[in-house]
Structure 1
Amino acid sequence: MRASSCETLISDPYRAGLALGEGLAGLAPEVVFLFTAVHYAGSTELLEGLYDALGRDDLVVIGNSGDGYYAAGRASDLGAVALGLNSGGKVRWTVACAQGVGANPVAATRSAFAQLSSAMSEEAALVFLAADFRADASQIESVLRDEVDCPVVGGLAADDDRMRTCYIYANRQVLQDAVVLLGMAGAVRFDVSIGNALTPVGRPGLIEEAEGTALYRIDGIGAMDFIERETGKPVLQTDRGVVALTIVDPDRTAQRRLRAIVPDFGRGHGAIGLYGGIEAGKTVQVCLANPSDLMAEVSRIARRVATLDFQPVAGLIVSCTGRKQMLGNDIAREAGILAESFPAGLAIAGYPSFGEIGPLREGEGYTRNLFHNMTYILLLLGA
């Protein structure tokens, strides 16, 4: 398998797509992962330029808008990045999508997987997922965790941290309110690494009242009061990317999942909002992020993947926009550390997300598919 990546800061959507396609033309990619800033406003001209430059109607495209994008050693708030793969026909790439994910995340996710299964002549070894952030991702997780047997990696699309709109790319379509899947079958090797090194503080508490992505009562007090009790300070808008909740499951200690606080978290007196729901009856613990811990964990991941038993050619990064806010100018190091571990070269692309999806490592394999916040996910692909 061969891979290549390129990026552009051109603001005109058609010219930006053309530039990306010209940058990948020498590879003649079978599939392109496309991650863009939101300022292209969902224009199909971006995709038209990409297809025109590459000159093949059977090109498979998947991706979404993010809070900017990541490339090798670079993070940008504007522009777009594209990563192309050519397996010489040894990998079969299939796209499926379903809309209505906001109103019914479970039904939309099931529908997309049913379409994917119907379109593929064999079972997928791996699925990449992109979804609109205006859905309760914990419900998407319920399908991925309980009904999908292969690893699923990806996340929620984003905008420039305003939580207003986002766009999903599926071949020549620009979609909203959708979940899009890329199934991969055949001679594909992959490795999934997840980093969510936030430090637990205080005592765990039992969720007593919750609805969707809103938490109302924990441990007999308002959810906001619970966080203040355990951290010693009130929750502020500036705590986004700093304070999160981890779901405590003593029977599945390997399945560590974080839920970050939404910036406009006011849902009534004492309530907080999250990027993904946690149902009543679950136990949670407050976690605090530390920039040095986040970077140290990415370094550990980079060292581990440099010794894999296959040769990666491409790296896809889905990293929470909360990490971007916390790390500031150091966010580019997340991609830079990875690139330094592959001196022979590695095509890299990714985006800051409003939620991350992937299985955690467990022994020689993986857990079921899970939804995360404040998390760094690295998917390496090779032959």
Structure 2
Amino acid sequence: MRAQSLHTLLSDPYRAGLALGEGLAPLAPEVVLLFCSIHFSDFHELLAGFYAGLGHDEVVLLGNTGDGFYESGHTGDYGAAALGLNSDGAVRWRLAVGHGVGSDPEGTTRACLAELQAEETPTLAYLLSDFRTDASRLEAAFDEDLAFPVVGGFAADANQMEQCFLFAGKRVLRDAVVTLAAYGPLRYDIGVGNALTVLGNSGMVESAAGTELYQIDGLAAMDFIERETGKPVLQSDRGVVALTVIDPHRPSRRRLRAIVPDFSSSHSTVGLYGGIETGRSVQVCLADPEALLGEVRRLAEQATTLDFRPVAALIVSCIGRKAILDSGIAEEVAAITRALPGSLAVAGFPSFGEIGPLKEDGGYSRTLFHNMTYVLLLIGS
């Protein structure tokens, strides 16, 4: 497996795409992952420039807007990055697109996954989604018996929660899910970091609908948060305060749901990026910058002990982490490039939600949806 990443800070969409395409052309990539900020004036022009620079239309391309981008040489708020992969034909790639994720997140996701495994079982799948949906319903589509892991995330904007775009080939999409499957001898490792500090006591979700919680532990949901933290949730706390969902049967399956005041229909309810079922127990969590970075460094160090040589790293990390870490967000890339020096190609994006399994029992759990989480996918051969 050969890989290359690069970025551009050009503001003109066609010229930015052209620079990325020309830069990847010598690699002759089989597949390209493209990440960019929301600020480009015309995303069709960005894709047109990319394909013109690459010089051919056969490459499989998918990508999305995020709150900026990550790349080996730069972590930026404005611009674009691309990651190209070439397995010299050893790995086969297949793209599937589903529409209507806003109204039917579970059905749209299931249809994409079914298409990917219709003829053979993938080794790994990568999934991107429009954020304007109930992310927990996507998680429901990742059954326990799904025979391959899925990693990915939710497209974003500049943390305004207004719009986002997905890319599939030359298509610019909204209200969609875009999936990529890899078949064959692909080596990979998935690391998930969600080190948040748990506060107070747990409480049971007694009333909820969609992405809103109404009652926890006999209290209005917002009153429960205030009881455990000692203060109400403010708009400025978006991404800082989260709930960890407790699975009594599998305590190692730690999932986080970020609290989003914008999604609350009243002062007493709690809005989330993804819903939590009634009957689940939750605890309040707070993000600590040093704990977040410490876990990123531990994941990077663990990557040095793998039994294969990673050539590419894909990072999907919550925009809430970016808000808390500020300039320290660059460490989420720097840690892995320090641990694996040389030609490691790195790209990714700050997201409105992260997707990936957790390591357990020598393998991986079912695929889960996360918030305030750092997902690191390492790819080799």
TM-score (norm 1): 0.97
CA distance in 2, matches of 1:325, 1:139: 26
Q: How does 1:89-100 map to 2 (within 5 A)?
A: 89-100=89-100
Task: Name the amino acid aligned to 1:154.
Answer: G
Aligned equivalent of 2:262: 264
Task: Classify the secondary structure of the residue corresponding to 2:95.
Answer: strand
For residue 342 of structure 1, report the CA deviation from its aligned partner: 1.1
Aligned equivalent of 2:281: 283
Contact between 2:121 and 2:147, CA under 8 Å: does it hold in 1?
Answer: no
For residue 345 of structure 1, report the CA deviation from its aligned partner: 2.4
Task: Name the amino acid aligned to 2:32.
Answer: V
CA distance in 2, matches of 1:147, 1:63: 27
Aligned equivalent of 1:21: 21
Deviations 1:152-206, CA, capped at 9 Å, x for gaps: 0001000000000001111111100000100000121000000000011100001
Contact between 2:7 and 2:74, CA under 8 Å: does it hold in 1?
Answer: no
Equivalent of 2:366, from 365, 368, 371?
368
CA distance in 1, matches of 2:179, 2:135: 15
Aligned equivalent of 1:78: 78
Equivalent of 1:122, from 120, 123, 140?
120
Aligned equivalent of 1:328: 326
1:164 aligns to 2:162 (yes or no): yes
Q: How does 1:52-201 map to 2 (within 5 A)?
A: 52-72=52-72, 74-118=74-118, 121-146=119-144, 148-201=146-199
Q: How does 1:337-376 map to 2 (within 5 A)?
A: 337-376=335-374
Contact between 1:38 and 1:166, CA under 8 Å: does it hold in 2?
Answer: yes
Question: RMSD across aligned C-alpha pairs, in angstroms?
Answer: 1.1
For residue 57 of structure 1, report the CA deviation from its aligned partner: 1.8
Contact between 2:6 and 2:73, CA under 8 Å: does it hold in 1?
Answer: no
CA distance in 2, matches of 1:266, 1:259: 14
CA distance in 2, matches of 1:222, 1:307: 47
For residue 115 of structure 1, report the CA deviation from its aligned partner: 2.5
Greater Cα offset, 34-43 or 212-221: 34-43
Q: How does 1:208-357 map to 2 (within 5 A)?
A: 208-357=206-355
CA distance in 2, matches of 1:157, 1:285: 27
Task: Classify the secondary structure of the residue corresponding to 1:32.
Answer: strand
CA distance in 2, matches of 1:140, 1:317: 20
Contact between 1:42 and 1:174, CA under 8 Å: does it hold in 2?
Answer: no
Which aligned runs of 4 or more in structure 1 are off by greater than 3 angstroms? none
CA distance in 1, matches of 2:308, 2:268: 50
Task: Name the amino acid aligned to 1:94.
Answer: R
CA distance in 2, matches of 1:365, 1:294: 24
Deviations 1:75-96, CA, capped at 9 Å, x for gaps: 2110000000010000001100
Contact between 1:4 and 1:85, CA under 8 Å: does it hold in 2?
Answer: yes
CA distance in 1, matches of 2:114, 2:121: 12
Aligned equivalent of 1:6: 6
Distance 1:228 1:360, change over 3 A: same
For residue 293 of structure 1, report the CA deviation from its aligned partner: 0.2
Task: Classify the secondary structure of the residue corresponding to 2:358.
Answer: strand
Which 5+ residue runs of structure 1 have no aligned equivalent? none
Contact between 1:97 and 1:115, CA under 8 Å: does it hold in 2?
Answer: no
Aligned length: 381
For residue 266 of structure 1, report the CA deviation from its aligned partner: 3.0
For residue 74 of structure 1, report the CA deviation from its aligned partner: 2.9
Percent identity among equivalent residues? 58
TM-score (norm 2): 0.98
Task: Classify the secondary structure of the residue corresponding to 1:275.
Answer: coil
Task: Classify the secondary structure of the residue corresponding to 1:145.
Answer: coil
Task: Name the amino acid aligned to 2:65.
Answer: S
Task: Name the amino acid aligned to 1:302.
Answer: A
Deviations 1:306-361, CA, capped at 9 Å, x for gaps: 12100000000000000000001110111011110111221000000000000000
Greater Cα offset, 44-53 or 159-168: 44-53
